Amino acid sequence: MVTGWTENASIRNNASRWITETVNDLQASFPFPLVSFDSDNGSEFINHDVSDWFQTRDIEQTRSRPYRKNDQATVESKNNQVVRKHAFYWRYDTAEELALLNEMWPLVSLRLNFFTPTRKPTGYTTGPHGRRRRVYDNPKTPWQRVLDSDVLTDDQITQAELRVHGVNPADLTRQINQIQLRLTGYARAKTEALAATKPLDLEALQASINRLATTKRKPSRAHNT
């Protein structure tokens, strides 16, 4: 909540073993230790296997209140800004698509956490016409906010900096776009076939598809890192 640090992963299904294995793998991606896990009320999270896994590792587990969607407002925001923006609304259900998604998410993580500044609301003020408006802080990347929070040891800072050393953000974007094109090639036809039988609106996808098609036609250039 304070830093905006975001990690994503795709799993085969909602079985407890995939959830615990993935959370375990993601722990290494966070620069700070995992001390709390918050979820919705889905049975994939609220069950003995998952709860026991967290308890044995001394990780607090909390959940949102039933029928209070605002409790998950931050997660839903990330679903829109991160998941749907990068993975679109296609239907993914094969091992090849799962592998591509999990190849893309670490790249997305690097770009968002180390190279994408965001602003955080700090309060309200009154405008010249008497209307209240939000006040935001200066733009910072999640990594900068982690450093400002002063919760990391020198070793943890070094490990995180090694992760991003020599990374070119433009190369990250090109790699992400290439994976998105492959995902679209795998999943577009079957998703549109489903859309023909169900009232799904795919119009919102067209702008992203056009952007990817334009990116594919442009010649790549070498960049020194």
| Rg of the chain on CA atoms, in Å | 20
Q: What does the DSSP assignment read for 110-163?
A: HHHHHH--B--EEEEEE-TTS-EEEEE---B-HHHHHHHHT---HHHHHHHHHH
59 belongs to a structural domain: yes
40 belongs to a structural domain: yes
What pLDDT is attached to residue 225?
A: 46
9 belongs to a structural domain: no
2 belongs to a structural domain: no
Residues near 37 by beta carbon (within 8 Å), at least 6 away in sequence: 23, 54, 59, 60, 61, 62
Total count of domains within the chain = 1
Tell how far CA 203 is from the center of its chain: 23
* Residue indicated by tokens 């896994």: 53
Contact 37, 60 (CB under 8 A): yes
Q: Rounded to an integer, what distance in angstroms lies between the CA atom of residue 35 and that of residue 59?
A: 5
Q: Is the pLDDT of residue 74 over 90?
A: no
Q: Rounded to an integer, what distance in angstroms lies between the CA atom of residue 25 and that of residue 9?
A: 9
3 belongs to a structural domain: no
222 belongs to a structural domain: no
5 belongs to a structural domain: no
What pLDDT is attached to residue 70?
A: 84
Q: Contacts by 46-52 with C-beta closer than 8 Å and gap 24+?
A: 47/16, 49/16, 49/17, 49/20, 50/16, 50/19, 50/20
121-126/132-136 β-pairing = antiparallel
Residue 138, domain extent: 16-217
Per-residue pLDDT tens digits for 55-66: 999 999 999 988
136 belongs to a structural domain: yes
Per-residue pLDDT tens digits for 7-38: 999 999 999 999 999 999 999 899 999 999 99
Q: Is the pLDDT of residue 198 over 80?
A: no
